[in-house]
């Protein structure tokens, strides 16, 4: 039996969905405008920058960026063309590859980060009170834990 949303749940769902999609769209547009890259590319660069030796197996990078392997492979090809990422074969697994963040890629990330952080601050943190931020963190963690199961 379908558990339909009541009126309050429907309003909550639409408010959440609208806020989330508008925020992601704004982040994407501003990164594209300011840094010449979509948010998905920025996320790949961030994950690589935070990895040991700024390198990850492609399969692990796909997991951490919540991307399919084929979508990630396409994105990494575009990042390689810009000189921001370099792929290399895995020594112990001939089918595996690593993605390495280049110095040029790290510089692109460093250049993009201030504008990205300001956009996040302006559109997510500034409108909320400290109590609301705490609630948002708790709610987001609860949703994430449920989705990981």
Q: What is the pLDDT of residue 65?
A: 96
Q: What is the pLDDT of residue 98?
A: 95
Burial class (CB in 10 A: 0-12, 13-18, 19+), 93: exposed
- How far apart are the C-alpha atoms of 67 and 42, rounded to whole Å? 13
Q: What is the pLDDT of residue 92?
A: 78
Q: What is the CATH number of domain 14-106?
A: 1.10.10.10
Confidence of residue 111 (pLDDT cuts 50, 70, 90): very high
Q: What is the pLDDT of residue 148?
A: 87
pLDDT digits (tens, 9 = 90+) for 68-106: 999 999 999 999 999 999 999 987 777 789 999 999 999
How many residues in total does the chain contain?
Answer: 149
Could you tell me the residue ranges of all domains in the chain? 14-106
CB 89 within 8 A of CB 51: no
pLDDT digits (tens, 9 = 90+) for 129-146: 999 999 999 999 999 999
The pTM score is 0.88
pLDDT digits (tens, 9 = 90+) for 32-57: 999 999 999 999 999 999 999 999 99
Pairing outcome for strands 55-57 and 85-89: unpaired
CB 37 within 8 A of CB 112: yes
Strand ranges across the sheet with 85-89? 55-57, 97-101, 85-89
Judge whether residue 26 has pLDDT over 90. Answer: yes
């Amino acid at each position: 039996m379908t558990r339909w949303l009541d009126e309050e749940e429907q309003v909550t769902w639409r408010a959440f969905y609208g806020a989330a999609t508008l925020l992601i769209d704004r982040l994407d547009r501003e990164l594209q405008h300011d840094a010449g890259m979509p948010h998905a590319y920025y996320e790949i660069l961030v994950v690589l920058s935070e990895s040991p030796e700024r390198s990850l197996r492609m399969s692990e990078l796909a997991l951490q960026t919540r991307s399919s392997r084929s979508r990630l492979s396409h994105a990494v090809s575009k990042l390689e063309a810009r000189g921001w990422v370099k792929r290399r074969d895995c020594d112990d697994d001939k089918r595996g590859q690593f993605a390495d963040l280049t110095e040029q890629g790290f510089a692109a990330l460093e250049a993009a980060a201030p504008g990205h952080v300001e956009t996040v601050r302006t559109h997510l943190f500034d409108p909320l009170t400290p109590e609301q931020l705490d609630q948002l963190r708790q709610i987001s963690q609860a949703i994430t834990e449920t989705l990981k199961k």
